[in-house]
DNA sequence: TTGTAAGCGTTATCAG
DNA sequence: CTGATAACGCTTACAA
């Protein structure tokens, strides 16, 4: 009785050795063509490629990593705290950008959500030579508990770290400038009583967007006291807007530090029978799905989040491969004007 | 001149061999204690553990995988199409659940977003022995282009696959039953004119939730024609509600197939000066951040998404390790009653 | 119970 | 330009 390949369990993947045999060359040669070495006879190369096709051969990553002392993998760290607050699409979108870029390289993306309870596990995973670089997306506060690793491993952050901003690699948009421009538009369209719903002041985006609003308001010679704070959630935006309205002072425009809070502001404004934009103009920040879902469609700052993720990945790969890389890359934003202003 | 360890480049990670030397045992023994083999003298074990501590040793995954012919890694596949539609937190949340569970195992999670353009790359990665199992979360339609791999590799799906539901492993909630219960509550609270904003009919959740609504409506002897469809986005929910209202027939309750569409329905309803719940009761599905952000807080079906992710991971690991695993696990839902009904 | 030694699939060095 | 052959760091029979 002969062994036939039954459907019992996946048969082992073809190895480089098998390819070599089929092509009638040495393993070294196969390895060379697989890795695109220029110095290999083109006839042999053809033969090898044919064999690879025939066998549907894929190099074994583990063996490869072992031999090259390089994992060809990068890790995305998401602090557990951050991972719990995914009301906004920031995370998913940035991950998408990262994965999209990495798909064109031969780096693999692995994800860990780092529990603050036992960070050593994550730490030793990272330092155990299993990873060539690290991406940190902690939309949340300044908990960059990973900054210290940047001495041992290439790291790139999403957004300026709350601390250590002068040593770390990161990619962001110019939040202050973008907020300033958005606010200027409000001014130049004739609004006189500008308010803002600011984000948390322990997060760089919260800080910078408020600063941008202030700059624009002051340069217009207007008072800058109409500030209420939210935490980037829809509900907090609604509440902040209520507080603003409760002050009983004239308000004819409001800049919200993100679209979710802007959407919240909508409910508060419209709930009081006021009209957007006739009574109050609203501009947001992010240009996420809220911006178009809401009525009237929201004028907002386009935040290129996917690009941000791509750029993070690109920077990290450059770092890993010893190519020059920008320490801080700042992506451009644009104001997209819709019907709320 | 002697070499001192300067801060030039990360020093190589300690190896098992170094641990063995320090502890005065053979590598085999170290390997045994690392892998928790029972048959090792407890004194030696202590010594080894001490050495591991001292050196801050972490096993090299590549080497380990190579030796055991097992990657200790699972891959999460996100179809590119799916990844573009992240208005709702489903993706982030389920990933969180997966990562959370995996954190307690020694499986690594890697993510690929599979471009439909060149699926072979993904395919060969998966089949190249780099991964022990696959998780597929394609919230989107029935594009389970991966089902065919399930012969070669353990796979678990998020939600019942549109096709192949009888062979695949998957975890889901009983959408039909949940929708039915939610609708029954509307009936039992005295509502007579029930409408629904259904999801896309090429997605199992869309289909099942509509079916559940129908069942409840029919068993109450009420007409089941008040149906409009959306695509699970806020905007589509608003539009569907407009169409419903435009029919100019009495409506005193509506079941939306998810919370985002319910939120959209809110704007349409309140935009016409109708009150929730006095004029129209609303119930949603998912219990995501919208449910509490909205005014009045939304009565909705709690969808245990994090648990879903955890269960997916758990099932997959069981499958990989040859333990028994449920082919379909259905997680319980609960109706959380807030102020919209 | 512990150690020896033979792989695991690739890459890299070094002759030829 | 090609082919032996020695690593790479760990696991695992097989001996002792």
Nearest nucleotide to A39 (CA to C1') is: D1
In a domain, B341, yes or no: no
The residue ranking higher by pLDDT, A243 or A9, is A243
- Give yes or no: residues B131 and B32 share one domain: no
In a domain, A336, yes or no: no
How high is the pLDDT of residue A115? Answer: 75
Q: Work out the percent of chain A whose per-residue pLDDT is above 70.
A: 92
Of the candidates A265, A286, A255, the residue with the CA atom closest to the CA atom of residue A187: A255
Pairing of strands B328-331, B169-173: parallel
The chain-wide mean pLDDT, for chain A, equals 89
Of the candidates B331, B303, B332, B287, the residue with the CA atom closest to the CA atom of residue B340: B287
Residue B197's pLDDT band (boundaries 50, 70, 90)? very high
Is the pLDDT at B7 greater than 50? The verdict is: no
Q: H or E stretch including B99?
A: helix B90-102
In a domain, B318, yes or no: yes
How high is the pLDDT of residue A5? Answer: 39
Residue from B19, B59, B65, B92 to probe the interface with A (highest A Cβ count within 10 Å): B92
Residue from B7, B34, B56, B62 to probe the interface with A (highest A Cβ count within 10 Å): B62
Mean pLDDT of A316-336: 95
* Residue in A with minimal Cα distance to B112: A99
- Give yes or no: residues B207 and B310 share one domain: no
Residue A9's pLDDT band (boundaries 50, 70, 90)? low
How high is the pLDDT of residue B87? Answer: 55
Mean pLDDT of B89-112: 89
- Give yes or no: residues B153 and B185 share one domain: no
How high is the pLDDT of residue A132? Answer: 95
Looking at CA atoms only, how far is residue A27 from chain B in angstroms?
A: 18
Residue A87's pLDDT band (boundaries 50, 70, 90)? low
pTM for this entry: 0.89
Mean pLDDT of A38-49: 90
- Give yes or no: residues A40 and A111 share one domain: no
- Give yes or no: residues A77 and A128 share one domain: yes
Is the pLDDT at A313 greater than 50? The verdict is: yes
Q: Which residues of A touch B128 (CB under 8 A)?
A: 13, 58-61
Mean pLDDT of A218-237: 94
Lowest mean pLDDT among A238-252, A277-291, B142-156: B142-156
Q: Which residues of A touch B153 (CB under 8 A)?
A: 10
How high is the pLDDT of residue B130? Answer: 87
In a domain, A16, yes or no: yes
| Residue B268 contacts residue B276 (beta carbons within 8 Å) | no
Q: Is B181 exposed, middle or buried (0-12, 13-18, 19+ CB in 10 A)?
A: middle
User: Which of A89-98, A114-123, B2-11 ranks highest by mean pLDDT?
Assistant: A89-98
Lowest mean pLDDT among A258-262, B34-38, B125-129, B296-300: B125-129
> Distance between CA A270 and CA A290 in Å, rounded?
16
- Give yes or no: residues A243 and A96 share one domain: no
How high is the pLDDT of residue B2? Answer: 37
Count of domains forming chain A: 3
Nucleic acid strand D: bases within 7 A of protein CB: 1-5, 7-13
In a domain, A49, yes or no: yes
Is the pLDDT at B1 greater than 70? The verdict is: no
Q: Which residues of B touch A295 (CB under 8 A)?
A: 238, 267, 271
Q: Which domain holds residue A284?
A: 175-304
Looking at CA atoms only, how far is residue A73 from chain B in angstroms?
A: 9
Q: Which residues of B touch A73 (CB under 8 A)?
A: 110
Mean pLDDT of B48-55: 94
Is the pLDDT at A130 greater than 90? The verdict is: no
Mean pLDDT of A47-51: 93
Closest residue by C-alpha to C1' distance, nucleotide D7? A67
- Give yes or no: residues B255 and B285 share one domain: yes
Taking only the tens place, the pLDDT of each residue in B278-313 is: 999 999 999 988 898 888 999 999 999 999 999 999
Mean pLDDT of A141-168: 78
- Give yes or no: residues A165 and A310 share one domain: yes
Lowest mean pLDDT among A116-120, A177-181, A276-280: A116-120
Residue A1's pLDDT band (boundaries 50, 70, 90)? very low
Output the distance from B5 CA to D8 C1' rounded to whole Å.
Answer: 22
CA B312 to each of CA A47, B319, B326: distance values in angstroms, whole numbers, following the listed order: 43, 11, 10
- Give yes or no: residues A42 and A132 share one domain: no
- Give yes or no: residues A183 and A158 share one domain: no
Taking only the tens place, the pLDDT of each residue in B203-228 is: 899 999 999 999 999 999 999 999 99
We report the CATH number of the domain holding residue A22 as: 1.10.260.40
Lowest mean pLDDT among A88-92, A95-99, B70-74, B112-116: A88-92
In a domain, A66, yes or no: no
Q: Which long-range CB contacts under 8 A does B65-70 form with residues at least 24 apart?
A: B65/A62, B66/A60, B66/A62, B66/A63, B66/A66, B69/A12, B69/B129, B70/B132
The chain-wide mean pLDDT, for chain B, equals 89
Q: Is B32 within 7 A of strand D by CB distance?
A: yes
In a domain, A77, yes or no: yes
Q: Work out the percent of chain A whose per-residue pLDDT is above 90.
A: 67
How high is the pLDDT of residue A86? Answer: 56
Taking only the tens place, the pLDDT of each residue in B60-84 is: 999 999 999 999 999 999 877 766 6
Residue B126's pLDDT band (boundaries 50, 70, 90)? confident
How high is the pLDDT of residue B28? Answer: 94
For every residue of A118-137, DSSP letters joined together read -HHHHHHHHHTTS-SEEEE-
- Give yes or no: residues A54 and A200 share one domain: no
How high is the pLDDT of residue A12? Answer: 73
- Give yes or no: residues B183 and B288 share one domain: yes
In a domain, A64, yes or no: no
Residue A3's pLDDT band (boundaries 50, 70, 90)? very low
We report the CATH number of the domain holding residue A191 as: 3.40.50.2300
Q: H or E stretch including A102?
A: helix A90-102
């Amino acid at each position: 009785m002969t062994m036939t390949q039954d459907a019992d369990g996946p048969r082992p993947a073809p190895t480089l050795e098998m390819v070599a045999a089929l092509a009638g060359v040495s393993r070294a040669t196969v390895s060379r063509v697989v890795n695109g070495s220029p110095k290999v006879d083109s006839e042999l190369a053809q033969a090898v490629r044919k064999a690879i096709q025939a066998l549907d051969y894929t190099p074994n990553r583990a063996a490869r990593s072992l031999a090259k002392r390089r994992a060809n993998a990068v890790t995305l760290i998401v602090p557990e705290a951050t991972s719990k607050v995914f009301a906004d699409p920031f995370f998913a979108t940035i991950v998408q950008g990262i994965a999209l870029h990495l798909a064109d390289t031969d780096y693999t993306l692995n994800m860990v959500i780092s529990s603050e309870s036992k960070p050593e596990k994550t730490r030793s995973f990272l330092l155990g030579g299993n990873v060539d670089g690290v991406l940190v997306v902690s939309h949340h506060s300044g908990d960059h508990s990973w900054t210290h690793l940047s001495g041992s491993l290439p790291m790139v952050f999403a957004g300026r770290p709350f601390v250590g901003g002068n040593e770390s690699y990161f990619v962001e948009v110019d939040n202050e400038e973008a907020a300033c421009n958005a606010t200027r538009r409000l001014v130049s369209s004739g609004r006189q009583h500008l308010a803002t719903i600011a984000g948390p002041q322990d997060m760089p985006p919260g800080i910078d967007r408020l600063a941008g609003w202030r700059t624009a308001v002051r340069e217009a010679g207007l008072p800058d006291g109409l500030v209420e704070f939210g935490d980037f959630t829809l509900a907090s935006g609604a509440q902040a807007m209520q507080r603003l309205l409760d002050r009983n002072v004239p308000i004819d425009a409001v800049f919200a530090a993100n679209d979710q809070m802007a959407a919240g502001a909508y409910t508060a404004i419209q709930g009081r029978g006021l009209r957007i934009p006739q009574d109050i103009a609203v501009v947001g920040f992010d240009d996420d799905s809220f911006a178009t879902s809401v009525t009237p469609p929201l004028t907002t700052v386009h935040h290129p989040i996917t690009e941000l993720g791509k750029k993070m990945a690109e920077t990290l790969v450059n770092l890993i491969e010893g190519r020059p890389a920008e320490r801080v890359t700042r992506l451009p934003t644009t104001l997209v004007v819709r019907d709320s202003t």
